[in-house]
């Protein structure tokens, strides 16, 4: 059986650079469209033709497992021709600038460019130079919009709603584009967001985002419906942000004892990749309250929805 897409939702913009600037209706429209792709992805026949003829290029300047592979699967399931640029062996290694690489690729007429880059703002810069749609797959510590959308979809499917829920985001907020995109999205959908982190891992001025802040896991997890753990991003740290991994785990690592501070039916999330024994214990990561594997499944559906909703707005659609 082939499930036809009922939703005719179109993203009336050329690029998806962040959650910031998306309206409530755009976020809900993307989540509703994603639901249809969750159903499709559980079938044997997962192939559709809505992106047939389109070329999608994935440009990942930072390592990635789930984001890159799910964007690749998403494009292929919708019928696009998908190319993964091997950035490490590209001409950028020979000193070509990002813009020259972008212009070179642009000359090949890609319809969609998916980019991850270590510099905040690099994806927006690309979007100003090319003719197709650009999707942000993570730029520095700025935004990671499809991660926040897949997190929201996972929460909505398990809790039935997002409005009114208390979501505790814990750990390395400072270096996390996942935290930033999630804070904006969860606030837009009416959740109550709490940040739990040591002072060294909280960005200055973060309280302006309308969040509660605490440095104590007991206080931060009290009454939480969702506990979202973040990876300690040691590759982005220059200097000492935590005394030691052991001490970090003792105060901020999620284990069964700390999870008991949250609501009894609280659910645990992590964007991956996880550092077991650093920010999360295996008993919790693999336990009955964990949604971590479901997040990965939702990632493919959300990326299909984003590709489909943007492509409906491309010329000649
Ligand atoms: C996140 C990222 O790259 O921002 N991972 C992901 O996309 N699943 C989080 C992280 O690297 O810790």
Residue 30 · residue 50 · CB < 8 Å: no
Alpha-carbon distance 11 to 15, whole Å? Answer: 9
> Is 244 exposed, middle or buried (CB count within 10 Å of its CB: 0-12, 13-18, 19+)?
exposed
CA-nearest residue for atom 12, ligand 1, is 231
The answer to whether residue 66 is catalytic is: yes
Number of neighbours of residue 10 by Cβ within 10 angstroms? 16
Residue 176, pLDDT above cutoff 80: yes
Residue 80, pLDDT above cutoff 80: yes
Residue 199, pLDDT above cutoff 80: yes
**For residue 317, what pLDDT is reported?**
57
Please report the beta strands in 197-286, taking only residues with DSSP state E, as ranges in sequence order: 212-214, 226-229, 267-269
**For residue 243, what pLDDT is reported?**
86
Residue 24 · residue 50 · CB < 8 Å: no
Q: How confident is the model at residue 1 (pLDDT cuts 50, 70, 90)?
A: very low
Q: What would the mean pLDDT of 42-47 be, rounded to a whole number?
A: 97
Ligand 1 atom with minimal separation from the 176 CA: 4
> Is 257 exposed, middle or buried (CB count within 10 Å of its CB: 0-12, 13-18, 19+)?
exposed
Full strand arrangement of the beta sheet holding 267-269 = 212-214, 192-196, 166-170, 226-229, 267-269
The answer to whether residue 258 is catalytic is: no
Which one of the listed residues 15, 54, 67, 258 is annotated catalytic? Answer: 67
Phi, psi of 184 (to 5 degrees): -65, -45
Alpha-carbon distance 60 to 224, whole Å? Answer: 35
Q: In this predicted structure, which of 91-100, 115-124, 244-253 has the lowest mean pLDDT?
A: 91-100
Longest CA–CA separation in the chain, Å: 57
Percent of the chain's residues with pLDDT above 90: 87
Candidate from 18, 61, 138, 143 with most ligand 1 atoms within 8 A of CB, to mutate: 138
Whether the predicted model's global pTM rises above the 0.95 cut:
yes
Q: Which of 140, 137, 147 is nearest to 235 (CA)?
A: 140
Which one of the listed residues 15, 144, 156, 177 is annotated catalytic? Answer: 144
**For residue 246, what pLDDT is reported?**
94
Residue 187, pLDDT above cutoff 80: yes
User: Residue 61's Cα: distance from chain center in Å?
Assistant: 16
The answer to whether residue 76 is catalytic is: no
């Amino acid at each position: 059986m082939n499930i036809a897409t009922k939703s005719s939702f179109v993203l009336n913009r050329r690029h998806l650079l962040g959650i910031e600037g998306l309206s409530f209706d755009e976020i809900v429209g993307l989540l509703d469209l994603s639901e249809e792709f969750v159903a499709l992805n559980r079938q044997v026949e997962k192939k559709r033709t809505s992106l047939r003829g389109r070329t999608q290029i994935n440009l990942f300047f930072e390592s990635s497992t789930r984001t890159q592979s799910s964007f690749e699967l998403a494009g292929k399931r919708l019928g696009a021709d998908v190319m993964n640029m091997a950035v490490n062996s590209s001409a950028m290694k020979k000193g070509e600038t990002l813009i020259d690489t972008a212009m070179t690729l642009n000359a090949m007429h890609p319809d969609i460019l998916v980019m991850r880059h270590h510099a905040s703002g690099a994806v927006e810069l690309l979007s100003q130079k090319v003719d197709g749609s650009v999707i942000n797959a993570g730029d520095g510590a700025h935004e990671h919009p499809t991660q926040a959308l897949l997190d929201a979809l996972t929460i909505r499917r398990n809790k039935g709603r997002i409005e009114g829920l208390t979501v505790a985001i814990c750990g390395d907020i400072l270096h996390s584009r996942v935290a930033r995109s999630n804070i904006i999205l969860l606030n837009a959908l009416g959740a109550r967001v709490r940040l739990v982190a040591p002072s060294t891992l909280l960005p200055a001025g973060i309280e302006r985002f309308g969040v509660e802040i605490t440095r104590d896991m007991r206080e931060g997890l009290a009454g939480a419906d969702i506990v979202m753990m973040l990876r300690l991003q040691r590759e982005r740290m220059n200097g000492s942000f935590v005394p030691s991994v052991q001490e970090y785990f003792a105060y901020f690592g999620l284990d069964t004892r700390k999870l008991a501070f949250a609501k009894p039916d609280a659910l645990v999330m992590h964007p991956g990749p996880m550092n077991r024994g650093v920010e999360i214990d295996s008993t919790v990561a693999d336990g009955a309250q964990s949604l971590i594997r479901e997040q990965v499944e939702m990632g493919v559906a959300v990326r299909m929805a984003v590709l489909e909703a943007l492509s409906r707005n491309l010329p000649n659609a």
